[in-house]
Amino acid sequence: MRNTAFFGVGVLLLLLQSNLFRLTGTFLRSLTWLTGASQELVVPGLVPSLVLPLILFMGVHEYSLVRGAGVAFALGYLTDLLGVAPIGLYTSTYVAAFVLARAAGVRLAAQTMLMQVGLALAFTLLHSIMILVLLAIFGRDAWVPRALYPMTLPHVLATGAVAPLVFRIAQRIHQATTSSSPRGEAA
């Protein structure tokens, strides 16, 4: 039940994420119009990843390795299908991010907002580096990683900014799908 809920919310976040660049572009154009600036404010890469903080939440909270990796795999595959990335790029990096977050989950407690932002910043930077390295090694065009690396820092900062919201949504799913009776009691 919990993994199905995480997958459903992940799909909704993915659909929102795939259209978020339109919203940020409209917002930046209206901000330019309101301020009367002569040049349009453009920040390439300012679109956050909404699915990655959800995967990090699952990894840090010690969900089943097989089920969590399965959800990360499915969300990564859907990201590959909706985006222009080669099939398997986000599939493999989302699973790797889940496994790394699960390994670090024993040492990290993402209870405070500051820790959630820090966790999202670190793992988004790691995820972006994995994407750039894999594109450099396996990509068809050598210019793609060079064109994408300036977008890394705005992407990392935008994902860190929305991470507490995604963590709050994931926490509500976690609480809604957790049994209310203590483990030691017989029903």
pLDDT tens string 80-115: 998 877 889 999 999 999 999 988 875 566 677 888
Distance CA 136, CA 141 (A): 8
Q: Are 123 and 97 in contact (CB under 8 A)?
A: yes
What is the extent of the structural domain holding 150?
Answer: 48-175
How many structural domains does the chain have?
1
Inside any domain, residue 112? yes
**63 — pLDDT class (breaks 50, 70, 90):** confident
Inside any domain, residue 26? no
Please give the C-alpha separations between residue 5 and each of 55, 116, 147, 174, 178, in angstroms, as whole numbers. Answer: 13, 21, 36, 9, 12
Q: Which of 37-41, 59-63, 73-77 has the lowest mean pLDDT?
A: 37-41
Inside any domain, residue 22? no
- Report pLDDT for 138: 84
Pairwise pLDDT comparison (25 vs 69), residue with the higher score:
69
Inside any domain, residue 40? no
Inside any domain, residue 88? yes
Please count the CA atoms within 13 angstroms of the CA of 96 that sit on its side-chain side. 15
- The count of other CB atoms within 10 Å of the CB of residue 66 is 9
- Report pLDDT for 26: 61
- Report pLDDT for 140: 78
Sign of the Cα torsion 22, 23, 26, 31 reads negative
Closest CA to 158 of 187, 182, 128: 128
Amino acid at 159: T
For residue 8, is pLDDT > 80? yes
Inside any domain, residue 75? yes
Inside any domain, residue 186? no
Inside any domain, residue 71? yes
Distance CA 132, CA 61 (A): 28
Q: What is the mean pLDDT of the chain?
A: 82
